[in-house]
Structure 1
């Protein structure tokens, strides 16, 4: 291990901490996540199928932006 690995681990830890704080304090305001237009839901009898494609695309874009910003800073 070197100092770069330590920086990466600290950065990932801070991001996880930030996400946890946001979820803890703003949980009631984030009810739209997973209920976006384009998320596929199918319910019939005892069968439930849920595929949050729009939510996954949005999360992917946000995470890509965060990674690009972190790469430019370090």
Structure 2
């Protein structure tokens, strides 16, 4: 079982990681138009708009998989 200081350290590391990832996504917006990639579907009628970001989800999944694999290899 983890003690309180280990949990606090883990939460701080997770927060820092989220901050870095958010900064990278924010900085990449001039180069990659997130949310309007090929494969993103949008349907609209007079009163309803549906947006399904399939292409964005696939790209984000690939990037996160690569980052997680790289992180796990570095920790071994």
The TM-score range, normalised by the shorter chain, is: 0.7 to 0.9
TM-score, scaled relative to structure 1? 0.75
Please name the residue that 2:21 is paired with: 19
In the superposition, the TM-score normalised over structure 2's length comes to: 0.73
1:56 and 2:57 are equivalent in the alignment = yes
CA 1:63 to 1:73, structure 2 compared with 1: closer, same or farther past 3 Å? same
Aligned length: 72
Q: Distance in 1 between matches of 2:40 and 2:55?
A: 5
Runs of 4+ in 1 over 6 A off after TM superposition: 2-7
What is residue 68 of structure 2 aligned with on the other side? 67
Per the TM alignment, residue 21 of structure 1 is displaced from its structure 2 partner at its CA by 2.4
Q: Which runs of 5+ in 2 are unaligned?
A: none
Residue 44 in 1 paired to residue 42 in 2? no
Secondary structure, in 3 states, of the residue corresponding to 1:29?
coil
